[in-house]
A and B are shown apart, each in its own frame.
With several copies, the nearest count.
Chain A
Amino acid sequence: MEKEFPIRQVLDGEGNITDDSYDLSEELVKDLYGKMLRARTLDKKSVNLQRQGRIGTYAPFEGQEASQVGSASALGEGDWMFPTYRDHGATLTFGHSVTTIMLYWKGRVEGCVPPEGKNIFPPAVPIATQLPHATGAAMAEKRKGTDRVSIAYFGDGATSEGDFHEGLNFASVFKAPVVFFNQNNGYAISVPIEKQMNSKTIAQKSLAYDMDGVRVDGNDVLAVYFETKKAVEKARRGEGPTLIEAVTWRYGAHTTADDPTKYRDQQVSEEKRNKIDPLLRLERYMEKQGFFDEQWKQDVTAQCDREIEQAVEEMEAFPDADINDMFGHVFKEPVWTIEKQREDYLTFKRGETV
């Protein structure tokens, strides 16, 4: 099936155009580069914050910026995003707040709340559960008669869960405007894809649903962007869902609690950094095109650093978690059980007798 589903690429690791059917403006390229750098800055900072104990366990995505930024850039205002715990590059690009993303990893429920007007669902922790949500939200838009779409992010491991299958089947049956965006990084924690599935590609799983499926170089932000855009536009036209497999690589650990040397040779990651890195290849391309400029890079870098640092400050200055938030949002209308528990507990905390 690798033949039926060739990996689409626009730009190879060396920054050479391998498919010249797209119009690549300097603006587009620089915009995507800037977004990827911003995502990477957030990611690296978060890993550091975790090491310093300033946030909890964190799930890094360095290496996957092209997949996340490219796909998110193809969306429009009002579309719906259903990310996992690792898709901060996507949510950020789509308009999420850095502070909010960091709060999530600081163990704060506020980290689940998107900026007003942004349809970003909280990260799905139970694997693959968000796929049916994306389908349902897309069915809702279709019913409302809008041309909005939803996009669900998920990993290679997620394809094994029943919810993957049910989400795709429903979407195909109801011709829901959804893009199922898979980031195939070859591993589900320690489990390599060969133990996860017998198929050589994830894209081919679309055949089970007579759904369009496409494989794309997930480290090539241009290819990801254009392929996602096609899928999004198709969905907007009412022509149903698409499964996109973005073949990528995560340099670091599964999470900061994980030790990848237990199950893979980290040397490979180092090699890939030089060979297929999403940012580097774009730099190489820009250089070749003659519009790369160190000063520009430094400016963008500095701007990203400032933004992220400021978000860290905001995160750390954020008021303490409010115990009332735990009790106060289980139901819209309070129920006596929880009210009683809250009162008893607050009374206890005040040192009074109940």
Chain B
Amino acid sequence: MKTAAEIKTNKLTLVQAVTDGLRTMLKEHEEVLVLGEDVGQNGGVFRATDGLAAEFGEDRVMDTPLAEAGIVGTSIGLAINGFRPVAEMQFLGFVYPAYEQIMTHASRIRSRTLSRYSVPMVIRAPYGGGIRAPEIHSDSCESLFTHMPGMKVVVPSNPYDAKGLLIAAIEDPDPVLFMEPMRSYRAFKDDVPEEKYTVELGKGAKLTEGEDVTVIAWGNMVATAQKAVEKMEAEGISCELLDLRTLYPLDKDLIAESVQKTGRAVIVHEAPETGGVGNDVLSVINEEAFLYLRAPVSKVAGFDTPFPFFSLEEEYLPTPERIVHAIKKSVTF
């Protein structure tokens, strides 16, 4: 192992860390291919694939026709035949046309063939609100995939995790949906190691230690929750903040241990509350920490409405204030 001093790092934003992760894997594995709409010469609408076509050639970083089912469907064909496609959905809200290919094929092929065929594919997609994007662009539909047997779902909240999780996702032998929080793309920079490293799938992170309440979030909501947690600390309420990082499979032990300790949980997500992944977290708590609960589990989530036009998006998205409110309600239950 190298010591910290020997590891060269760069200050990167989350989107740059994604590019770095892709570059690392394109370099290391000839089977890794990047494909999608505008990922080639244009470098992606967020520059997530900037420079990669020039560096690795347009036959490894491929612009495709504008057809999400086609992108995923051909990626499946590539994946069962020796390649590791990393397909980009330009926005997660445009994954819906590909839903059938993911649901009936990508996620089932290993099962259906008793592992004779498998689909080591990553579907990358920017998601979430807060950047004043047009309709559909801001959808957070992770639970359409956590409910889909055979898919893993991963969401980084910071540049370090973004690179490490992306590499782990590409190395994973099975299909992974890799969601990238747009609002966090350029929000801040981290020291990101230049070399290859992985952040293990299925493991969340405890960002702050606390006693009174467990706050659970992912993606951009981690930063939002962080602000709430800081306010609470100032008021003497000690929160344990968990960044789930992987939404399927959930890090059961992390959630269980924390809620067993605090007896209270506030879950934060952007997606509509009904049917959201918050309910899966609730289910883990119900099973693992029932006897420890001192208040109902609370959710601060998107409403059961379509993601609104951007003039109202800040009303829709969970805010530190709404989270504070929920924490206080939980503590005073």
Chain A interface (Cβ < 8 Å from any Cβ of B): 56-57, 80, 85, 106-114, 121-122, 125-127, 129, 131-141, 143-144, 150, 157-158, 160-163, 166-167, 169-170, 173-174, 188-191, 195-197, 257-258, 262-263, 320-321, 323, 325-327, 329-333, 335-338, 341-342, 345, 348, 353-354
Name the residue on A nearest B110 (C-beta): A329
Interface string of B178-192 (1 = CB under 8 A from A): 000000000000000
Cβ contact within 8 Å between A144 and B82:
yes
Check if B64 is an interface residue, CB within 8 A of chain A: yes
**Known A112-B113, A135-B74, A160-B67; contact A330-B80, beta-carbon cutoff 8 A:** no
Cβ contact within 8 Å between B77 and A140:
yes
User: Which 6 A-B residue pairs are closest in the complex by CB-CB distance?
Assistant: A136-B77, A132-B73, A190-B42, A107-B310, A166-B70, A136-B74
What chain B residues lie within 8 Å of A143 (beta carbons)?
A: 59, 83
What chain B residues lie within 8 Å of A109 (beta carbons)?
A: 111-114, 308-309, 311-312
* Given A132-B72, A136-B80, 20 new contacts (CB under 8 A): A56-B134, A80-B81, A109-B113, A109-B309, A110-B114, A122-B109, A125-B136, A129-B100, A133-B105, A167-B70, A170-B70, A190-B38, A190-B42, A258-B45, A263-B42, A321-B311, A329-B113, A330-B149, A335-B248, A341-B304
Q: Out of B65, B80, B149, B252, name the residue touching A173 (CB < 8 Å).
A: B65
Cβ contact within 8 Å between A197 and B113:
no
**Known A132-B70, A170-B70; contact A326-B83, beta-carbon cutoff 8 A:** no
Check if B133 is an interface residue, CB within 8 A of chain A: yes
Q: Out of A122, A161, A354, name the residue touching B113 (CB < 8 Å).
A: A122
What chain B residues lie within 8 Å of A137 (beta carbons)?
A: 77-78, 80-81
What chain A residues lie within 8 Å of B224 (beta carbons)?
A: none
Cβ contact within 8 Å between B70 and A331:
no
Docked Cα-Cα span, A48 to B202, in Å, equals 47
Cβ contact within 8 Å between B305 and A338:
yes
Interface string of B117-160 (1 = CB under 8 A from A): 11000000000000011111100000000000110100000000
What chain B residues lie within 8 Å of A341 (beta carbons)?
A: 273, 303-305
What chain A residues lie within 8 Å of B115 (beta carbons)?
A: 329, 332
Cβ contact within 8 Å between B38 and A189:
yes
Could you list some 20 contacts between A and B, CB below 8 A? A57-B132, A80-B81, A125-B134, A135-B73, A135-B77, A136-B73, A137-B80, A140-B81, A150-B77, A163-B73, A163-B100, A190-B41, A190-B42, A195-B64, A196-B65, A262-B41, A325-B312, A326-B305, A341-B304, A348-B322
Check if B69 is an interface residue, CB within 8 A of chain A: yes
Cβ contact within 8 Å between A139 and B77:
yes
Cβ contact within 8 Å between B70 and A160:
yes
What chain B residues lie within 8 Å of A144 (beta carbons)?
A: 82
Shortest distance from the beta carbon of A317 to any chain B beta carbon, whole Å: 15
Docked Cα-Cα span, A335 to B133, in Å, equals 28
Docked Cα-Cα span, A321 to B100, in Å, equals 27
Q: Out of A113, A166, A353, name the residue touching B73 (CB < 8 Å).
A: A166
**Known A126-B96, A332-B118; contact A121-B80, beta-carbon cutoff 8 A:** yes
Q: How many A-B residue pairs have CB under 8 A?
A: 250
Check if B296 is an interface residue, CB within 8 A of chain A: no
Q: Out of A80, A336, A342, A348, name the residue touching B249 (CB < 8 Å).
A: A336
**Known A57-B133, A109-B308, A330-B149; contact A127-B66, beta-carbon cutoff 8 A:** yes
Shortest distance from the beta carbon of A271 to any chain B beta carbon, whole Å: 21
What chain A residues lie within 8 Å of B174 (beta carbons)?
A: 331-332
Shortest distance from the beta carbon of B256 to any chain A beta carbon, whole Å: 11
Q: Out of B63, B94, B116, B305, name the residue touching A190 (CB < 8 Å).
A: B63
Cβ contact within 8 Å between A338 and B77:
no
What chain B residues lie within 8 Å of A329 (beta carbons)?
A: 110-111, 113-115
Chain B interface (Cβ < 8 Å from any Cβ of A): 37-38, 40-43, 45, 59, 63-70, 72-83, 93-94, 96-97, 100-101, 104-105, 109-118, 132-137, 149-150, 152, 173-174, 202, 248-250, 252, 273-274, 303-306, 308-313, 315-316, 321-322, 325, 329
Docked Cα-Cα span, A337 to B112, in Å, equals 19
Name the residue on A nearest B134 (C-beta): A125
Cβ contact within 8 Å between B114 and A113:
yes
Cβ contact within 8 Å between B101 and A132:
yes
What chain A residues lie within 8 Å of B132 (beta carbons)?
A: 56-57, 107
Shortest distance from the beta carbon of A170 to any chain B beta carbon, whole Å: 5
Docked Cα-Cα span, A193 to B310, in Å, equals 32
What chain B residues lie within 8 Å of A333 (beta carbons)?
A: 173
**Known A85-B134, A112-B113; contact A132-B311, beta-carbon cutoff 8 A:** no
Cβ contact within 8 Å between B173 and A332:
yes
Cβ contact within 8 Å between B97 and A162:
yes
**Known A188-B66, A262-B42; contact A139-B78, beta-carbon cutoff 8 A:** yes
Cβ contact within 8 Å between B136 and A133:
no
Shortest distance from the beta carbon of B79 to any chain A beta carbon, whole Å: 8
Docked Cα-Cα span, A297 to B170, in Å, equals 55
Name the residue on A nearest B307 (C-beta): A326
What chain A residues lie within 8 Å of B101 (beta carbons)?
A: 129, 132, 163
What chain B residues lie within 8 Å of A190 (beta carbons)?
A: 38, 40-42, 63
